Homo-oligomer: A and B are copies of this chain.
């Protein structure tokens, strides 16, 4: 049985809007990063700890589908899940719910990552970092 983490909550900043008066689409990729960092902290493996152990998690791929615009001042909740993990590669999925707009799904997407050392060489965490392996494996949600 999987643990359900509380979503990451944030308000839309003024400087995140563009001349269409909606959040510029590039910012969702930044929100995904904020939500991922929050998720790792809640899962017991904060980014700072990862960096202290000499581990990086560079982004291999990112995508986002835009459903409804978000506007300045709106509160959004971002739900984050790990959907795939093989000890080295990781897929993270995000759903952005606009609370102010009546809990509309405004965007969803995912990012793919590789776990590497500080020289960007892939790591097989099963052997080298069993603690990370355990945390990530247990966090995987089967779809």
Contact = CB atoms under 8 A, between A and B. Distances in A.
Interface in A56-110: 56, 58-66, 69, 72-73
A54 to B, nearest CB: 13
A60 B56 contact: no
B20 A58 contact: yes
A46 B25 CA distance: 20
Contact of A63 (B33, B34, B61): B61
B33 A13 contact: yes
Interface string A7-43: 0000001110111110011110110011001000000
A62 B25 contact: yes
12 contacts: A14-B18, A14-B24, A15-B18, A15-B33, A17-B18, A19-B19, A19-B72, A26-B62, A47-B73, A61-B63, A61-B65, A63-B63
Interface of A: 13-15, 17-21, 24-27, 29-30, 33-34, 37, 46-48, 56, 58-66, 69, 72-73
